Homo-oligomer: A and B are copies of this chain.
Amino acid sequence: MLTSPALFLAEIRPGGATTFAQVDPSAPHVRVDDLGVTRGDGIFESVAVVDGNPQSLRHHLDRFARSAALLDLPAPDTAVWARAVADAAAAHPPAPELLAKLVLTRGVEGGDAPTGWVHVFPAHDYGSQRTAGIDVLVLERAYPSDVVTRAPWLLQGAKTLSYALNTASLRYARAHGADDVVFVSAGGDVLEGPNSTVLARFADRWVTPPPELGILDGTTVGRAFAWAADRGDGTEVARLRVDDLRVADAVWLLSSGRQSAPVRSLDGVPRPTDAALQAELLHHLLTVHD
């Protein structure tokens, strides 16, 4: 019988040999002394599964491996993880949009193996944000733009389980009447959202900020760039200042689950959105697989 959600738990042996087995998602599987919970000491990826297809899986797994390296975690066997994502997606009752969450923690304190799982569950319904757009606050991330090279111990650029400030930023935005956040560095560079990548359009040029600012290398923006290039537009990974966002022809936040959401206001100031372009972009993101 298909259960919903589908949960596949890893057994990772010293040395890295990994197998997955399906378990009951409503039962607890994590010990209270797992460093993933006591220290947020682990990494994750969220992969959209659209019409049964895990999107940008290779890119997600590459980033998962890079995050593991940044945290000195054992390298995940990405081929085995890819199979687990496919198996967990297949084990879930079919749905147009699912999300697969991949988690790897440092394991139980004092133990000799990391903890890991793949959890597939229905995606949120982002219909209205995709169509009507989102109100966004610009909030300080308060790190210098060269934090990655200057202070690698701060783990910027790794997708860790230590996301309390990301969720706190979203709560702050909601308490102030907004839906989402764009972080800006102490140096005034546009960074990313708490769970998203910034994409700005200036006429026929599409721009997203560079990972060397200590932000994640977005998976969705790669597919958006492929679409923009197909249109004959230019794409660029380049620094943006907050003022650039205020004069862009349009701004989007991209992420695996929500795909593309047009920014309809920035710090309370209305921004133009383009419904036809958003429909076209979203259609591409939801239908073209890689």
- Which residue numbers of A lie inside 8 Å of B, CB to CB? 5, 7, 25-42, 44, 71-72, 101, 103, 105-106, 117, 119, 121, 139-144, 147, 150-155, 158, 160-169, 171-172, 181, 186
18 pairs of residues in contact across A and B, judged by CB atoms under 8 Å: A7-B32, A28-B31, A30-B32, A30-B37, A37-B161, A38-B44, A39-B40, A39-B166, A40-B40, A40-B164, A41-B164, A71-B164, A140-B151, A140-B154, A141-B154, A142-B142, A142-B147, A142-B154
Q: Which of A27, A144, A151 has the most chain B CB atoms closer than 10 A to its own CB?
A: A151
Contact of A163 (CB < 8 Å), options: B30, B32, B162: B162
Q: In the bound complex, how far is the Cα of B101 from the Cα of A165, in angstroms?
A: 22
Q: In the bound complex, how far is the Cα of B162 from the Cα of A158, in angstroms?
A: 13
A32 close to B117 (CB less than 8 A): yes
B103 close to A167 (CB less than 8 A): no
State the majority secondary structure of interface residues on A.
Answer: mixed
**How far does the Cβ of A67 sit from chain B's closest Cβ, in whole Å?**
10
A38 close to B168 (CB less than 8 A): no
Q: In the assembled complex, which residues on chain B have CB atoms less than 8 Å from the CB atom of A168?
A: 71-72, 153-155
